[in-house]
């Protein structure tokens, strides 16, 4: 249960506030009465942050998280108490094509944010977004938080590095920093059509066969964006209550119910108006891990967090978001 009293009038910095998670997290913080400061690098007119009107109601700051002077100014000028660091380059394909820009955003950006946080005396807690991709490939599944971080490809490596840097700041400087490692996130507002959920939904809304880039067999854990929002807020509150227990700790957040790419696509097709569509399996994906899914047991036991949304209900909500979005664009 989220404590609305904790967030009331709290000055919260959300980096990457216009992404899928950043948008919904900002909206939830606004609902809880927080005083939100959002960092946005590029204007994103189709993001949920802008479409909802929240971009006009929060303190929106335009800038790059790799800019040290910019981050120092944001922390001091806005007197940040809680920082939730989400800003990153999140597309695996882009990372493969352009690794340096991904490393700049995901690795340098993380240490610049954390260093600015370290120098600002008013800061109380930081939550840093890592990913299940930080684990790399392991034979033993599901991943627990004790599994080695061993990304092998640019995106995975960038998240492994950011994860280690965040926990280094906690362990070396005594900062109240914790890390999230989330499963594959989906929900309204994800406009990367190469991802399986938005791409499949757009195809079936158009009456077209969805395309699967892999052979359909890779298994992933999928989690609804609103369950991820509750995970971040729950973790930030837990750090405030008991920083010695949670600082320097990473937590997995997932559904604990892995599905193959083909199963996920078929679940989406079944809730559409075109239930007879058969996916096109391209089998062209490269540099992707075959099976990758989490155990969220630690989050259940230490934080009291569990996902609240079923796959069917969350996919229906997501489907309707895209139906409305595509009808307006």
183 three-class SS = coil
Pairing between β-strand 291-292 and β-strand 222-224 as defined by DSSP bridges: unpaired
Output the six-digit token pair for 83: 């920082």
Q: What is the C-alpha separation between 21 and 224, in angstroms, rounded?
A: 10
Q: Assess whether 155 carries a catalytic annotation.
A: yes
Phi, psi of 288 (to 5 degrees): -120, 145
**93 exposed, middle or buried (CB, 10 Å; 0-12, 13-18, 19+)?**
middle
Output the six-digit token pair for 319: 């489907």
CA triplet 46, 47, 51: central angle to 5 degrees? 75
First-to-last alpha carbon distance for the chain, in angstroms, is: 36
Residue that has been written with the tokens 């996919």 in this structure: 315
Inter-CA distances, 258 with 139, 180, 218, 261, Å: 15, 18, 10, 10
284 three-class SS = coil
CA triplet 114, 115, 116: central angle to 5 degrees? 90
Burial state string for 197-216 with b = 16 or more CB within 10 A and e = fewer than 16: bbbbbbbbbeeebbbbbbeb
Share of the chain residues as helix, strand and coil, in percent rounded to the nearest 5: 45, 15, 40
Choosing from 155, 186, 232, 322, the catalytic residue is 155
Q: Are 209 and 203 in contact (CB under 8 A)?
A: yes
Q: What is the C-alpha separation between 27 and 58, in angstroms, rounded?
A: 9
If residue 127 lies in a helix (H) or strand (E), which one and from where to where?
A: strand 125-129
User: Which residues are known catalytic residues?
Assistant: 155
């Amino acid at each position: 249960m989220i404590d609305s009293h904790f967030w009331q009038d709290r000055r919260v910095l959300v980096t990457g506030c216009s992404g899928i998670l950043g948008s919904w997290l900002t909206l939830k913080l606004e609902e809880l009465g927080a005083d939100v400061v959002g960092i946005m690098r590029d204007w994103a007119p189709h993001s949920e942050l802008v479409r909802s009107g929240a971009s006009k109601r929060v303190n929106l700051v335009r800038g790059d998280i790799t800019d040290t002077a910019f981050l120092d100014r944001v922390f001091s000028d806005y007197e940040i108490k809680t920082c939730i660091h989400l800003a990153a380059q999140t597309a695996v394909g882009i990372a493969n094509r352009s690794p340096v820009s991904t490393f700049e955003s995901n690795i340098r950006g993380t240490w610049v944010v954390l260093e600015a946080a370290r120098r600002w005396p008013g800061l109380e807690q930081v939550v840093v977004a890592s990913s299940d991709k930080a684990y790399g490939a392991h034979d033993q599944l599901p991943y627990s938080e004790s599994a080695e971080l061993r990304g092998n490809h640019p995106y995975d490596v960038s998240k492994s590095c950011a994860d280690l840097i965040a926990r280094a700041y906690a362990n070396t400087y005594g900062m109240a920093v914790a890390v999230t490692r989330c499963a594959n996130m989906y929900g309204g507002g994800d406009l990367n059509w190469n991802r399986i959920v938005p791409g499949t939904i757009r195809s079936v809304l158009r009456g077209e066969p969805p395309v699967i880039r892999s052979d359909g067999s890779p298994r992933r854990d999928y989690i609804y964006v609103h369950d991820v929002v509750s995970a971040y807020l729950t973790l930030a509150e837990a750090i405030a209550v008991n920083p010695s227990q949670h600082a320097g700790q990473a937590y997995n957040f997932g559904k604990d119910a892995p599905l193959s790419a083909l199963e996920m696509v078929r679940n989406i097709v079944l809730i559409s108006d075109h239930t007879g569509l058969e996916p096109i399996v391209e089998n062209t994906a490269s540099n992707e891990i075959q099976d990758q899914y989490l155990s969220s047991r630690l989050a259940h036991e230490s934080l009291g967090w569990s996902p609240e949304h079923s796959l069917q209900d969350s996919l229906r909500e997501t489907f309707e978001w895209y139906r409305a979005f595509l009808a307006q664009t």
